[in-house]
């Protein structure tokens, strides 16, 4: 069966069961500055899973293109990709387990005719906070899944949130236990290096996870997990993997999604897929991801999404420098041509060098734009190993000068997301709220820059603050810190956020849906509420004692103040 037929059958199946087909969200989510790409079907639906009304109703179905960069190193095996299409069905506080699990089972076994004996499921085994998911187990048993095909796992495998296990979830994040479905490829022999016994979550490749029903019913608060006002279902199934299961072939790259591009590359290079699997797979995945990014309007560059696109294109070009001959997309083609010039210069340099030290790897990175992983791979081919520790040291030394990816990712004037910076970030929200209370509503953020050492904040004020004003502001901030107020966020449409009285930076553009961070137990009476992408401390007592240690007039009627934390906890 072709992947297009699988997608169509899926959408129709759920449409017949009262779901509205919704269009996929863009791959680059402008509404969420905390992330580079849409990485799951649920991401664009977070506000609705939290209770906001979706214009299309409470039952939705879609197919969402997604990118997960954490899997980039795994690409090359039979099942991992950076780009994939996730088939999703959603209950926004409507149906729950006893409808959803039978439906997805019917879809897989009746609509797609996957043999029952090859399907396995898993459920959440429970922990001190959330009980074992016996209800799902009962449902699977009632559907004819045998006890030996039902496995129980803990939070690492059967809990889903965007940030991982419950303890990794920031306050405000939603998630819940899940029940996963796996397909067993009996042609794959279990490898004992992965463990003595094979099981659905074994990494040997015999089992492939093809779907995941997440029961999103919890929200993280400063007290732990709290039940959401509505119980949701978030099902996600990989289109590529489901198609591979239908073919009963464990190699997802043999599906019609990737196979034509692999065949074309075989023709061009004269090399065979079966002899160069990892390289061919990296090419097939990265090409598909690159095309999706270019279609989403991304241009190769040095920062953010552009940097990722450049990295994908460069990585596949290193594998097969001749690929520009079979790619007719000009954005990708031009980038390959440019990179090949760089690559040749770099290769010449490498040819002259006997031993590639970490410092040389760093120079190649800086001068020729060789990403470290490419350098490592090329040297490996030369039978050399790069001293990664030394590379990292060099990288640290030059970090400020080089435009590192992370420097581009973090918005809002934050140097990074280290604990010290996060504390100062929350302290800066308290500073702005206090300045407004002491000096008036004309205080707005005109600039902000936060490093590990201090926060710098600019606002309109034609004169310096008096000692009394400074003391008042500092006391107000430290008083809030002592009261140990929670810091939460809410995601909502911009119009609604403005109505709450939340303040925002004067000179920034915001998307239609925004995050409002507030300090206090509820949004309405919060001490501070601001449009912001985060991150922040969970409770104000984590900040320590705040001092305004310097102020200076910087022209155009602006005052700049510096804030430090004197006794960090
Ligand atoms: N949110 C879950 C996942 O991404 C299911 O859609 O796996």
Length of the chain: 569
E strand intervals along 494-538: 513-519, 528-531
Residues 295 and 378 in one domain: no
> From CA 412, how far away is CA 295, in angstroms rounded?
27
The predicted structure's pLDDT at residue 397: 66
Q: Within 13 Å of residue 1, how many CA atoms lie on the same side as its CB?
A: 22
H-helix or E-strand spanning residue 304: helix 304-319
- Looking at the fold, whether 545 and 456 belong to one and the same domain comes out as yes
Mapped to the 3 state alphabet, what secondary structure does 124-162 carry?
ECCCCCCCCCHHHHHHHHHCCCCHHHEEEECHHHHEEEC
347 is a domain residue: no
Looking at the DSSP bridge assignments, the partners of residue 522 are: none
Cα 261 to averaged position of ligand 1 atoms, centre (Å): 28
For a substitution probing ligand 1, which of 14, 38, 43, 86 has the most ligand atoms within 8 Å of its CB?
A: 86
Residues 363, 262: one domain? Answer: no
| 421, pLDDT greater than 90 | no
With the most atoms of ligand 1 within 8 angstroms of its CB, the residue from 162, 236, 238 to mutate is 236
For the segment 156-177, what is each residue's pLDDT rounded down to a tens digit?
A: 999 999 888 999 888 888 999 9
> Domain end: 231, 254, 277, which one?
254
- How many domains in the chain? 4
Q: Which of 12-26, 42-56, 502-516 has the lowest mean pLDDT?
A: 502-516
Distance 114 CA to ligand 1 centre (A): 21
pLDDT value of residue 35: 73
pLDDT tens by residue, 444-473: 888 888 888 899 999 999 899 999 999 999
Range of the domain at 547: 419-566
Same domain assignment for residues 400 and 262: no
Report whether 278 contacts 300 (CB < 8 A): no
Closest ligand 1 atom, residue 42 Cα: 1
> What's the pLDDT tens digit per position in 507-532?
555 666 778 899 998 999 999 999 88
Residue 489 lies in a domain: yes
**CA nearest to 540, candidates 512, 513, 520, 562:** 520
- Does 359 lie in the same domain as 279? no
What residue's CA is closest to ligand 1, atom 7? 236
From 38, 40, 71, the mutation candidate for ligand 1 (largest count of ligand atoms within 8 A of CB) is 40
If pLDDT is split at 50, 70 and 90, which confidence band does 533 have? confident
Shared domain check, 200 and 78: yes
Ligand 1 atom nearest the C-alpha of 39 is 4
The closest of 404, 465, 406, 413 to 434, measured between CA atoms, is: 465
Which atom in ligand 1 lies closest to the alpha carbon of residue 162? 1
Q: Is residue 342 part of a domain?
A: no
pLDDT of residue 34: 62
Q: Are strands 119-124 and 150-153 parallel, antiparallel or unpaired?
A: parallel
Distances (CA, A) of 135 to 101, 140, 142, 479, 553: 11, 9, 11, 47, 64
**Which pairing describes strands 159-161 and 150-153: parallel, antiparallel, or unpaired?**
unpaired
Asked if the structure places residue 533 within a domain, the reply is: yes
Q: Are residues 108 and 236 in the same domain?
A: yes
Cβ < 6 A, ligand 1 pocket: 40-42, 88, 160, 212, 214, 234-236
Are both 279 and 391 inside the same structural domain? no
Q: Which residue has the higher pLDDT, 368 or 268?
A: 268
Task: Kindly give the distance from the C-alpha atom of residue 389 to the centroid of ligand 1, in angstroms, as a whole number.
Answer: 35
Question: Does 344 map to a domain?
Answer: no
CATH number at residue 67: 3.30.930.10
Closest residue to atom 3 of ligand 1, CA basis: 236
Burial code (b: 16+ CB inside 10 Å, e: under 16) for 60-94 equals bbbbbbbbbeebbeebebbbbbbbbbbbbbbbbbb
Do 428 and 311 have their domain in common?
Answer: no
- Predicted TM-score of the model (pTM): 0.69
Residue where a domain stops, chosen among 254, 284, 299:
254
Decide if pLDDT at 321 tops 80.
yes
Asked, for residue 443, whether it belongs to a domain, the answer is yes
Residues 36 and 185 in one domain: yes
Q: What angle do CA 523, 529, 532 make, to 5 degrees?
A: 120
Here the CATH number for the domain that contains residue 518 is 3.30.980.10
Same domain, 215 and 138: yes
Residue 431 tokens read as 């500073």
CA–centroid distance, residue 327 to ligand 1 (Å): 32
Question: Do 46 and 158 fall within a single domain?
Answer: yes
| Mutation pick for ligand 1 pocket among 60, 234, 237, 239 (CB with most ligand atoms within 8 Å) | 234
Closest C-alpha to 48, from 178, 229, 180: 229
Q: Answer whether residue 492 shows pLDDT above 90.
A: no
Comparing 37-41, 246-250, 368-372, which segment has the lowest mean pLDDT?
368-372
Contact present, 262 and 273 (Cβ < 8 Å) = yes
Measured in Å, residue 19 CA sits from the centre of ligand 1 at 18
Domain boundary among 238, 254, 270: 254
* 120 domain residue, yes or no: yes
Is position 346 within any domain? no
Nearest alpha carbon, ligand 1 atom 5 = 236
Q: Closest ligand 1 atom to the C-alpha of 88?
A: 6
Distances (CA, A) of 249 to 209, 253, 254, 527: 14, 9, 8, 58
Which residues fall within 8 angstroms of residue 330, CB to CB, at 6 or more apart?
A: none
User: Taking the mean position of all CA atoms in its chain, how far away is CA 194?
Assistant: 27
Least confident of 31-35, 36-40, 316-320, 522-526: 31-35
**213 C-alpha to center of ligand 1: Å?**
7
């Amino acid at each position: 069966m072709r992947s297009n037929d699988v997608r169509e059958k899926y959408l129709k199946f759920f449409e017949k069961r009262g779901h509205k087909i919704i269009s996929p969200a863009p791959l680059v989510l402008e509404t969420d500055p905390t992330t580079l790409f849409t990485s799951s079907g649920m991401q664009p639906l977070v506000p609705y899973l939290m209770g906001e009304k979706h214009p299309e109703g409470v039952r939705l179905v879609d197919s969402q293109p997604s990118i997960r960069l954490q899997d980039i190193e795994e690409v090359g095996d039979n099942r991992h990709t950076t780009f994939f299409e996730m088939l999703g069905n959603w209950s926004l506080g409507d149906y729950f387990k006893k409808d959803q699990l039978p439906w997805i089972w019917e879809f897989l076994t009746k609509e797609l005719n996957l043999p029952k004996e090859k399907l396995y499921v898993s459920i959440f085994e429970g922990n001190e906070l959330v009980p074992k998911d016996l209800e799902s187990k009962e449902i699977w048993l009632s559907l004819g899944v045998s006890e030996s095909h039902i496995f129980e796992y803990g939070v690492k495998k059967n809990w889903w949130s965007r940030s991982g296990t419950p303890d990794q979830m920031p306050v405000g994040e939603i998630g819940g236990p899940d029940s996963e479905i796996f397909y067993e490829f009996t042609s794959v022999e279990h490898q004992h290096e992965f463990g003595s016994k094979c099981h659905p979550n074994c990494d040997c490749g015999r089992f492939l996870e093809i779907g995941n029903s997440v029961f999103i019913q919890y929200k993280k608060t400063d007290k732990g997990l709290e039940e959401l006002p509505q119980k949701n279902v978030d099902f996600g199934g990989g289109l590529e993997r489901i198609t591979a299961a239908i073919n009963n072939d464990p190699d997802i790259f043999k599906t019609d999604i990737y196979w034509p591009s692999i065949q074309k590359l075989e023709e061009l290079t004269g090399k065979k897929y079966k002899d160069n699997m990892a390289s061919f797979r990296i090419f097939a995945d990265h090409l598909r991801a690159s095309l999706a990014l270019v279609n989403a309007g991304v241009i190769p560059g040095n920062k953010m999404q552009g940097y990722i696109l450049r990295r994908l294109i460069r990585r596949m070009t290193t594998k097969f420098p001749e690929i520009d001959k079979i790619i007719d997309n000009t954005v990708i083609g031009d980038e390959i041509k440019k990179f090949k010039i760089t690559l040749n210069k770099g290769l010449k340099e490498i040819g002259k060098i006997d031993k590639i030290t970490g410092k040389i790897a760093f120079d190649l990175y800086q001068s020729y734009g060789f990403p470290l992983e490419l350098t490592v791979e090329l040297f490996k081919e030369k039978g050399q190993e790069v001293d990664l520790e030394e590379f990292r040291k060099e990288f640290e030394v030059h970090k400020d000068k080089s435009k590192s990816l992370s420097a581009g990712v973090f918005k809002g004037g934050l140097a990074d997301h280290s604990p010290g910076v996060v504390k100062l970030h929350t302290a800066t929200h308290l500073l702005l709220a206090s300045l407004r209370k002491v000096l008036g509503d004309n205080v707005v953020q005109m600039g902000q820059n936060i490093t590990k050492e201090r926060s710098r904040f600019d606002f309109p004020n034609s004169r310096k603050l008096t000692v009394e004003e400074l003391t008042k502001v500092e006391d107000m901030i430290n008083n809030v810190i002592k009261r140990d107020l929670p810091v939460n966020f809410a995601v909502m449409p911009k119009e609604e956020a403005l109505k709450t009285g939340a303040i925002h930076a004067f000179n920034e553009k915001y998307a239609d849906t925004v995050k409002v961070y507030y300090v206090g137990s509820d949004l309405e009476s919060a001490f501070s509420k601001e449009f912001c992408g985060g991150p922040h401390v969970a409770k104000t007592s984590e900040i320590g004692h705040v001092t305004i240690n310097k102020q200076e007039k910087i022209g155009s009627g602006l005052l700049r103040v510096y804030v430090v934390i004197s006794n960090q906890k």
